Amino acid sequence: MAAPIGKVTELLTDVHDGLEFPSRDCFISKGEYVYYHYGCGNFDDRGWGCGYRTLQSLSSWVKHQQEKMNSKPSHNVPSIPEIQEALVAIGDKPYTFKGSKDWIGSFEVCLCIDYFYDVPCKIIHVNSGAVLPNHIEDLVKHFQEYGAPVMMGGESDSSSKGVIGVCRNPQALLIMDPHYYGPTKSKTYLQKEGWVKWRLLEEFKEHSFYNLCLPQLKYTDYG
């Protein structure tokens, strides 16, 4: 029997803190986010829930920003059942999607952030991992102007993941991997085990397309 996983209140924030940058030419997410991963909230979604968990991480950033901007509560980070219900309600999925183990990708993440938080997202379609370098400046501009974490989904590389930074030289992405399963650990542990790490662009699959979901809410430092 699997060990119980920590409650949502025990999850870690800003899990990239303390990680060494490949160079000075790097751009990182601004503001607080929560690291959601397989099994958190005592919900076992191993093998299919990575897109939902990345959506939850992005939602935590949006929620935090909206509450700073408006000085009032924003929508809670949605649970997996709530995400599935929302996608059915807006007509993106059939009723049988509720309670299923069907994956979601960047497009569904875009729909849900708009649905729950009234925040639009920009979708960037990347035809192949081989052309990811062509979109380095898109990500640099996003982190400079908006600062939100990014959702990254793929085709043959179908493991959804969060992008919380980009580096020009060497060309790399700072990946927040939601596939970790286990009790809450330290940021140092997650970094040491590779759940949060820089990945060179050459490591991404040439024969897989990728979709990037970029929330269009600007970070503002309210002190």
The pLDDT tens digits for 168-179 are 999 999 999 999
- The b-or-e profile of 12-24 (16+ CB within 10 A means b, else e) is bebbbeebeebee
Report the relative pairing of strands 150-154 and 172-176 from DSSP bridges.
unpaired
pLDDT value for 189: 95
Given the residues 92, 102, 135, 179, select the one marked as catalytic. 179
pLDDT band at 2 (very low <50, low <70, confident <90, very high): very low
CA distance 200 to 159: 16
Domains of the chain and CATH, by start = 14-215 (3.90.70.130)
Q: What is the pLDDT of residues 125-141, one digit of tens each?
A: 998 878 888 999 999 99
Judge residue 135's burial from the number of C-beta atoms within 10 Å of its C-beta, 0-12 exposed, 13-18 middle, 19 or more buried: middle
Write the CB contacts of 139 (distance below 8 Å, at least 6 apart in sequence): 27, 150, 163, 166, 173, 212
Mean pLDDT is lowest, of 57-66, 71-80, 90-99, 149-158, for 149-158
Which amino acid appears at position 178 of this protein? P
- Mean per-residue pLDDT over the chain, rounded: 91
Residue 42 clears pLDDT 80, i.e. is over it: yes
Q: What is the pLDDT of residues 92-114, one digit of tens each?
A: 999 999 999 999 999 999 999 99
45 catalytic per annotation: no
Average pLDDT over residues 204-215: 86
Q: Under a CB-based contact definition with an 8 Å cutoff, are residues 182 and 97 in contact?
A: no
50 catalytic per annotation: yes
Average pLDDT over residues 142-157: 89
Residue 4 clears pLDDT 50, i.e. is over it: no
Residue 222 clears pLDDT 70, i.e. is over it: no
Q: Under a CB-based contact definition with an 8 Å cutoff, are residues 105 and 87 in contact?
A: no
114 catalytic per annotation: no
Structure tokens at 197: 């790490």
Given the residues 157, 167, 177, 213, select the one marked as catalytic. 177
Given the residues 26, 40, 50, 167, select the one marked as catalytic. 50
Q: What is the pTM of this model?
A: 0.93
Q: Which of 2-16, 72-86, 142-156 has the highest mean pLDDT?
A: 72-86
